[in-house]
Amino acid sequence: MAESPQGNPGAEQARLPDLFLKAVKAAIIGTDLSGIVNFWNPFAEELYGWSPEEVMGRNIMEITVSTETEEEARKYMASVLAGNSWAGEFQVRCKDAGFVSAFVTLALVKDDNGAAVGVVGVSQDTAELRRRKERCGGVKNSFERLPIRCPSCAGWRTAMAGFSGVTRGGTSTRERSRSKWRERARGRCTMQRCCR
């Protein structure tokens, strides 16, 4: 087999998981079963303020957990070590002694034989999540107003009318869908009232 111009394809493939973890815009922190940090991705440094060199080999509880939330954090970790996962909003401590409200997910990491080998935590700043949601809401609202042409009658309607989750006049989306299929079967336009 010919070697790729970028080097050994097997080695490149083996590096992909590490590259993915370093590229994602969420703080990903790996610890052993006792809470000693053994992975700290670049976004963890951005969110928390500590470089990987400052946290490797230290216990996660002394880095990101305040004394006020330590008991709660220990409870979540004990649940994860028992085989459960945990997700929720949590006040995390940063290097500058400030706090950030983060959505945190914790999960047990198992090896190929099913033995527990560590814990992975994924954190996202909830303020950033809210900003993204607001931006997406603006895109959705713009799309809802986007006119599209009805193929049956060449009339116009807005793009999102009648889509899942939208209710109008007490009629559920599912009921409108059934009604539209019945009307299509009769050869009538279902996109706009103009050709009924």
Single-letter residue type at 117: V
Percent of the chain with pLDDT over 90: 48
Residues 20-33 have a mean pLDDT of 92
- Does this model's pTM top 0.85? My answer is no
Question: Is 105 a residue whose pLDDT tops 50?
Answer: yes
DSSP letters for 125-162: EHHHHHHHHHHHHHHHHHHHH-EEE-TTT--EEETTTT
Phi, psi of 52 (to 5 degrees): -55, -40
pLDDT in tens, 166-178: 444 444 444 555 5
Percent of the chain with pLDDT over 70: 65
Please list the residue range(s) of the chain that carry CATH number 3.30.450.20. Answer: 9-130
pLDDT in tens, 127-161: 876 777 777 765 555 545 555 555 555 554 544 44
pLDDT in tens, 28-74: 999 999 999 999 999 999 999 999 999 999 999 999 998 889 999 99
pLDDT for residue 24: 87
CB 125 within 8 A of CB 99: no
Question: Is 14 a residue whose pLDDT tops 80?
Answer: yes
Cα gap 116→113, rounded to integer Å? 9
CATH class of the region 9-130: alpha beta
More confident residue, 98 or 154: 98
Q: How confident is the model at residue 23 (pLDDT cuts 50, 70, 90)?
A: confident
